[in-house]
């Protein structure tokens, strides 16, 4: 018996600000277009990604045009008709969307989140670590002025 696998991972930048919509039953849905650059040809491929419910709300809240993301999902093909013309679209239905930016808007395409970086514990830990290195740097490498080697 053959085994089927339908799993997709893409990493790229979203091409426009996410816009959230709600279904008739109240479920949140947003559609992202993710641009993925090919390493060798330097050309971009564009993938349509559909995100549902809580993740859709988070994408709308924290992502903006140019934000880097990692999307894990599955491929889905669907048919629809426009003005009597049948169309087929293949899209990625996201199971997980990871926000790859650090959240600072100075990195280009950062987060929409407002507030200072002091609100984020990982940023505070990083800053404290840098202060420790700066404070200890002089202690560890301070020259005593003596020519005597202690070992």
Q: Give the DSSP H or E segment for 68.
A: strand 68-82
How would you write the pLDDT of the chain (151 residues) with one tens digit per residue? 788 999 999 999 999 999 899 999 999 999 999 999 988 888 999 999 999 999 999 999 999 999 999 999 999 999 999 999 999 999 999 999 999 976 554 444 444 443 333 444 444 444 444 443 333 444 333 344 455 555 4
pTM over 0.75? The answer is: no
DSSP summary character for residue 24: T
Q: How many CB atoms lie within 10 A of CB 38?
A: 9
């Amino acid at each position: 018996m053959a085994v089927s696998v339908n799993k997709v991972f893409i990493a790229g930048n979203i091409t426009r600000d996410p816009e959230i919509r709600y279904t008739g039953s109240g479920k949140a849905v947003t559609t992202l277009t993710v641009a993925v650059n090919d390493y060798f040809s330097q050309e971009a491929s564009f993938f349509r990604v559909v995100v549902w419910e809580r993740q859709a709300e988070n994408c709308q809240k924290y992502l903006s045009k140019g934000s880097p993301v990692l999307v894990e999902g599955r491929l889905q093909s669907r048919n629809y008709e426009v003005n009597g013309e049948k169309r087929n679209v293949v899209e990625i239905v996201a199971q997980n969307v990871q926000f790859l930016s650090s959240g600072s808007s100075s990195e280009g395409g950062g987060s929409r989140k407002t507030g200072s970086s002091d609100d984020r514990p990982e940023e505070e830990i990083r800053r404290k670590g840098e202060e420790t290195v700066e404070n200890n740097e002089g202690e560890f490498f301070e020259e005593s002025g003596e020519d005597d080697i202690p070992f």
